[in-house]
Structure 1
Amino acid sequence: MNQSPPRPRPGRVRARAVHRAAAALAALAFTALTAVLPGTTPAAARTATDPARAGSSPSRSEIYSELRLDQVPADYVVLVDVSGSMTGEGRYSSVRSALLPFLKGLAPRDYVALFTFGDKAETVYLGHPSAPKAIVGRLPGRAGPSSVQTDIGAALDRGLAELERPGAADVGSVVMFTDGKHDPPAGSRYPTSGGPAWKALRDRAGKLARHHELAAYALPLATDESGTAQLSGVVSDTTELRPDSVQNLAGYLGRAAERARARKAARLIAQDAGKGVTATLSPTGPLDLDKGGATATLTLTATTARVPLTVTGLGATLDDQPLTVTGLPDRVSLKPGTARQFQVTVRGEPDAGLLPVRRTWEAEAGLTVHGKVATPWAATLDEVRFRVPAAVKGPATKLRLRAQVGSALTLPLLIGVPLVLLVAALALWMRNSRAVVNGVLLASPALGDGPGDEIVLRGRQVTFVPPRIGGKGRAHGRRYRADDGRRDIALNLSYSPDGTAARSANAVCRPGEPVVVNGIRFDYRPDRHGYRPDRDGVSAADVTRAGAAPGPLPVPRPGALPPHGDGPWDGSPPRPPAQRGRPTPSERDLP
């Protein structure tokens, strides 16, 4: 007769369920640590992301891959509680099961320090995680016995000592698994949860944190006690990962680990502080601008060793020259330590100066490269400070330029135009101040009691020596505007009775308006006025021309006398007409 299988006892069912839950929790915790703690990279995270799909800013995993963070070692101190309480509900076996995938996810250059602690702290493994199974195999097969107590202070002492060793990595993490509070055995250096011994631990951890990226993670395996208070009292940057927040476990670990990885990246990026983009020019010979422009090679170089750079708004100008520089793209991306070359063209006409005479122009002009330098990593690693110079440096050498400037007409115009203006001004002056005169100038004594002379006027200036009157004079024409508005020519006279400059006097004689100069009456008669001596009261034979032999004194014809006598008796010689605006001649001026 078949009998039904015995029903399991309720206590055993609950124990097995708790055991499976604890194992799953530990495995999940170690998997999360493997995925996000410094120096660990899960297989999925190692897959390269397509830059085209990632957009203009790379992802963190791409940046960390370019920085080769896996080549930068990190230290991991793992503290496992083996006290008697860890034997319950399969806690210890769950930790052993989760350690294997955790160790497999570490980088080959990482360093692992595995300790167990109960009544005291004991070393299980020190070295690289090259054989994860062998490392886990070194752990005790079981925890306990039940009499073994929990000395958290001793465990932290051993862990800090390992992080203080010579050659320790810049990034260190402390991971502690425990299910109880600090319960040290008799004789422990840490008999209580406080005191000088704990202060010494805290000081050591603070000194480490000043030069290292140090973080701690408490993973409590029981709901009542976790050891977080003791761990956070030593390491200020401590994160507690409780079993009742499994859903947030990866997030908490991710944030803490990302800070550590970003700090590791920042240490590498800091080596490029102050390095940016430099520009150089080639060739160094003169550039001939007469053939529609000259080309040169502009080289942009990223001087960084790890950080890629971009230059946006790229352009170039020549200092103090009206020339244009073309051939540069608006945006340039440069990998660390690389260079890119661009053919730039210089076009335009140089400044010929104030006198644009045709000549060969040569000069040196500085080239200023414009653009904003930045790194595409800054948008992703917003917690890292990038010290990248924002401007392009250089080039230090100047461009040597050559061109034919100015116009071939400039020099002839510079000489010809002033000369033409001068000739025109001279002609205008000659026309007005030295007008061509014609006709005759009648010279006779002012009182009419002596012979007279007829001076023929031809040309712009006439020098005369009256044969009868004597003396010497000079006359030249000058244009003037009459009261009625018409333009006419007057004579500018100068006359000296003895021919010396000391007795020379000047006057202006207009047509039909006689003047008296030094006692001599001068009357200007232009040809156009129709002057004829025989019609004007004196025959041609009665007036001696200047330069001819003196003849007899003229005798006025009766018809030439005025109808009423102008002298003391009838028939006396007529007096000269009154001169307007002229002074009465003195006795000195009389002949």
Structure 2
Amino acid sequence: MTSERREVPARRGPRPVVGADRSPAAPSRGLLGLSGLSGLSGLLGLLVAVLMATSVSGVAPARAAGPAGGVGGVAQLGRTAVLDALGVPTLPAEYVVLVDTSASMSRGGLYGPVRSTLSSFVASLDPADRLSVVGFDEVPQVAFSGPAANARSAIGRLPATATGASTDIGAALSTAIDLLDHPDAARSGAVILLTDGRHQPPVNSPFPAETGRPWTDLAERARTRLAGRDIAGYAFALDNADAGRAGATLLRSVLPATTVLALPPGQLPQYLSRVQQHARAQKAAELLADDVRGPVVTVGWRWASAGRTLADVDPTAGTGTVEVTVTSTARRLPVELTGVRVVSTDPSVSIATPATPAAGTPGGGLPERIALAPGQRRVYQVPVSLSPRTGGAVRRSHRVDGGLSLMSTVDSPWRTVLTSEFGLRMDPAPRGASTRVHGSVAAGWNPAAIAEIVVLVALVLLFALGFIDRRRPRLRGVLAAEAADGRLDRVAMRGRRLHLGPERDDDVVVPGTGSVHGRRMGRGRLAAGARPTGRAGRDRIDLVIDYQPPGITGLPPLVLRPGESRGHGDVTFTYTLPGQPIGPADTAVFPAADHPGDGDPGAHGPYPDGPSPGGPFADDRFPRAGGFTSSP
């Protein structure tokens, strides 16, 4: 054993001890066991000790139970007040204390002070806690296992003197895992290992060395059987020699969340107190975890008028009332909203200022601060003014379309302890803090808009008709088609298009196929003998004859002006306007010869296909019902 002892901070696990005071009085040399040090070695030892006493495991200072000002003006409670409000003393935690009872503990004068310190620690446990005390040397011996309320004599059941010949730390840790695994086990707890030496097992130990398969299996058994629980490890090397630190560090190989400290027995009470504080903080964090998993406050909106909703308000009402419901979703955490006010996001919906506002209600019927106990709900009436917009091109309407938002910060009088000591964060924004306000009613028709639409439609129709009339004007006059074999067909044109073909039901019977349509050419010269009448004096309509003789393709269209007669393929086409006199030229075009097969040659006079009392061309060889017509 060495007479020089100092704290040696080992690598800390993920769950540090919390709740220790960061401003302790300066420790004395006697307390730290640093007498006899000199020079640089003594200075370094003192520095390490002070650092450990002030910042071990990232501990935050314990706060007084009374209120203290917090951010946003919310008074903050201390750790003790929060723990008492949560009822943490009534919640169980598991403690397993492993005490080295080998002879070296007595020779170093460690065993007596350890027993005394553990007696005080056991007396300070919460009545609902569960305690197991195990002494170990050659084999582990369970001195006590049961409720902490019945553990007053637990430490007295340890051997009065440490006389063991071996130190089987592996067997002790295996026993600790078994003691933690029972049907009524609490979720949080701690394994505390106090030893002054290495792992020195007896010959028949299942852990013959400090490493190897037995330790791997033990760690896997701990991981499996303690899954889902928050069990922290604390290993105290009561001797600062390498042997003491090596033995204590073995706990970390089984429980990775282990804090290892090398310190003399005089400092043990302080750190055991921190172990207990950490366990209580874990209880509190377990209780509050669900409360802060999401938004702690929700906001609900409702239009207060019967038969209406926020999506269907009456914009002509001028005013209305919005019912705002603020609800705490927490089961244990008290919350407080600060800086509360309702604001509008659109001018069509504004917050009305009451004529006689109540004291402390600047937010349109809402108090500036709202305190909510766990699960509490508060309802407030917020008056609003509606300024509808009138619009609509044809059917006019009055409408409002805006938004309302509850501006606030969610806080808690437990926030400081929640964050710094329990490691939890709460959402500062409420859920559902914004809503939409919409409504619309008809305001009648807009006569001016209707008149504009009618005029526009008329103009479009006129333009379309004019366009069609220019591209495809109505056909007028007579079209005669004389085939090469002397057959003649003459048609009084109507409509906008004629079909050419060899069949009797075609508009113009010719050997080949094709079509005829008109093209308005504007004012123009007529062919010889044509006489302008009506609109023909202003616009000339030419015929576009797209005709393909039998067996021939690719023949370009023929353009025929009024009064012209031209051959196209195997057909001669003649275009005559209404009222055009028939003279010698016409005789040449229309020879006085009967059609082949006529039963009465020359019965129609010199112009067999000319006008007759029965109609313009009633004696045509292909009479059509109702006269000669073109396709519509």
TM-score (norm 2): 0.49
Alignment of 1:259-278 (within 5 A): 262-272=281-291, 273-276=293-296, 277-278=298-299
Which residue in the other structure is 2:90 paired with?
71
Distance 1:50 1:72, change over 3 A: same
Which residue in the other structure is 2:483 paired with?
none
Unaligned runs of 5+ in 1: 1-19, 24-31, 38-43, 419-591
Q: CA contact under 8 A between 2:63 and 2:79: conserved in structure 1?
A: no
Alignment of 1:463-542 (within 5 A): none
Distance 1:262 1:136, change over 3 A: closer
Residue type at the aligned position of 2:92: P
Distance 1:295 1:283, change over 3 A: closer
1:334 to 356, 367, 372: 372
Is 1:241 matched up with 2:261? yes
Is 1:162 matched up with 2:183? no
Give the CA deviation at 1:81: 1.7
Which residue in the other structure is 2:111 paired with?
92
In 1, the alpha carbon distance for the partners of 2:141 and 2:211 equals 22
Q: CA contact under 8 A between 1:108 and 1:129: conserved in structure 2?
A: yes
Secondary structure at the counterpart of residue 241 of structure 1: strand
Give the CA deviation at 1:47: 7.0
Which residue in the other structure is 1:316 paired with?
342
Which residue in the other structure is 2:569 paired with?
none
1:307 to 330, 333, 338: 333
Distance 1:112 1:249, change over 3 A: closer
2:388 to 314, 329, 350: 350
Secondary structure at the counterpart of residue 153 of structure 2: helix
Secondary structure at the counterpart of residue 110 of structure 2: helix
1:173 to 190, 209, 212: 190
Which residue in the other structure is 1:384 paired with?
423
Secondary structure at the counterpart of residue 208 of structure 2: coil
Residue type at the aligned position of 2:328: A
Is 1:283 matched up with 2:277? no
In 1, the alpha carbon distance for the partners of 2:168 and 2:31 equals 26
Which residue in the other structure is 1:189 paired with?
206
Cα RMSD (Å):
4.7
In 2, the alpha carbon distance for the partners of 1:348 and 1:317 equals 14
Alignment of 1:64-143 (within 5 A): 64-88=83-107, 90-143=109-162
In 2, the alpha carbon distance for the partners of 1:206 and 1:172 equals 15
Distance 1:375 1:265, change over 3 A: farther
Which residue in the other structure is 2:432 paired with?
393
In 1, the alpha carbon distance for the partners of 2:406 and 2:282 equals 33
Cα deviation 1:201-245 (Å, max 9, x = unaligned): 222333456522222222233343322132222222222332359
Give the CA deviation at 1:88: 2.8
Q: CA contact under 8 A between 1:313 and 1:370: conserved in structure 2?
A: no
In 2, the alpha carbon distance for the partners of 1:283 and 1:123 equals 68
Q: CA contact under 8 A between 1:269 and 1:386: conserved in structure 2?
A: no
In 1, the alpha carbon distance for the partners of 2:161 and 2:214 equals 30
Which residue in the other structure is 1:298 paired with?
324
Unaligned runs of 5+ in 2: 1-29, 34-51, 352-363, 452-632
Q: Which range moved further: 283-292 or 216-225?
A: 283-292
Cα deviation 1:154-195 (Å, max 9, x = unaligned): 111100111222332221211122222222222111122222
Alignment of 1:409-420 (within 5 A): none
Which residue in the other structure is 2:404 paired with?
368
Distance 1:126 1:209, change over 3 A: closer
Aligned residues: 371
Secondary structure at the counterpart of residue 406 of structure 2: strand
Q: CA contact under 8 A between 1:301 and 1:338: conserved in structure 2?
A: yes
Cα deviation 1:421-452 (Å, max 9, x = unaligned): xxxxxxxxxxxxxxxxxxxxxxxxxxxxxxxx
Residue type at the aligned position of 1:48: A
Is 1:219 matched up with 2:236? yes
Give the CA deviation at 1:280: 3.9
Cα deviation 1:452-506 (Å, max 9, x = unaligned): xxxxxxxxxxxxxxxxxxxxxxxxxxxxxxxxxxxxxxxxxxxxxxxxxxxxxxx
Which residue in the other structure is 2:66 paired with?
49
Give the CA deviation at 1:312: 4.9
Q: Which range moved further: 321-330 or 170-179?
A: 321-330
Cα deviation 1:138-163 (Å, max 9, x = unaligned): 2233332xx53221111111001112
TM-score (norm 1): 0.52
Q: CA contact under 8 A between 2:299 and 2:327: conserved in structure 1?
A: yes
Secondary structure at the counterpart of residue 200 of structure 2: coil
Distance 1:284 1:137, change over 3 A: farther
Q: CA contact under 8 A between 1:372 and 1:392: conserved in structure 2?
A: no
Give the CA deviation at 1:288: 8.9
Residue type at the aligned position of 1:305: R
Please tell me whether Structure 1 or Structure 2 has the larger radius of gyration of its CA atoms.
1
In 1, the alpha carbon distance for the partners of 2:108 and 2:139 equals 23
**Share of identical aligned residues, percent?**
30
Secondary structure at the counterpart of residue 404 of structure 2: strand
In 2, the alpha carbon distance for the partners of 1:179 and 1:388 equals 47
Cα deviation 1:353-381 (Å, max 9, x = unaligned): 469x999x7x7978633335544455541
Q: CA contact under 8 A between 2:121 and 2:273: conserved in structure 1?
A: no
Distance 1:46 1:96, change over 3 A: farther
Q: CA contact under 8 A between 1:115 and 1:125: conserved in structure 2?
A: yes
In 1, the alpha carbon distance for the partners of 2:222 and 2:407 equals 46
Higher relative contact order (CA 8 A, sep 6+): 2
Cα deviation 1:33-80 (Å, max 9, x = unaligned): 9xx99xxxxxx9797323559963444444444443333321100011
Secondary structure at the counterpart of residue 325 of structure 2: strand
